[in-house]
Amino acid sequence: MKVVQHYFPDLNADQYARFAQLEAQYRDWNTKVNVISRQDIENLEVRHVLHSLAIAKVFQFKPGARLLDLGTGGGFPGIPMAILLPEVQFTLIDGTGKKITVVREVAQALGLTNVTARHCRAEDLKMPGTFDFVISRAVAPLDKLLGWSQRLLKKKHTQAYPNGLIALKGGKIQPEIAALPGDGSSYTELFPISSFYDDPWFEEKWVVYVQG
């Protein structure tokens, strides 16, 4: 995980060891369950781990913050974020049982006590008013993500940004912003990932914040 270490030079020995172990875990699990496409497993560090950590390049979370990873798949962005931010609590949900099994096994193998994994869809999650932020990657358009997220967010804001949705997105994002409630008048901020990662794969990739 040399690329991760390059962009996050303050990793302690425990975090670095967990990132190295994460790679071994996913390579092993990917032979049993198609968590990451077979063609893409060689790009695990940049296109999955580093991409997930882009959220932490933009946002800081206070100890005890609660984040929901909606549609986590095999654990992205939640697992890498949980390694980087051990004092933040992460709940990872997905509608595919096999993928949540992988998430649980990987979190246990890495000793991530700040991760809880649940097999359910966002609309079925009975945890209203629980989370400071909902994070997500490549799951659905912003308007759908926001619709699923709003009832799950806390009413009281305790973080630097008001509670809301943080999504990793690629390509032309303006049509999705225009489709948000209020004809696009929802408060949003766009952060280009290419402004802090050099790899050309991150061109036209964004961290998108939508206030909840």
CA distances from 33 to 36, 37, 72, 73 (A): 8, 10, 15, 11
Q: What is the pLDDT of residues 139-179, one digit of tens each?
A: 999 999 999 999 999 999 999 999 999 999 999 999 999 99
pLDDT for res 184: 64
In this prediction the pTM is: 0.96
Q: How confident is the model over 19-29, as a mean pLDDT?
A: 96
For the stretch 52-89, pLDDT in tens is 999 999 999 999 999 999 999 999 999 999 999 999 99
| Domains and their CATH numbers in the chain | 2-211 (3.40.50.150)
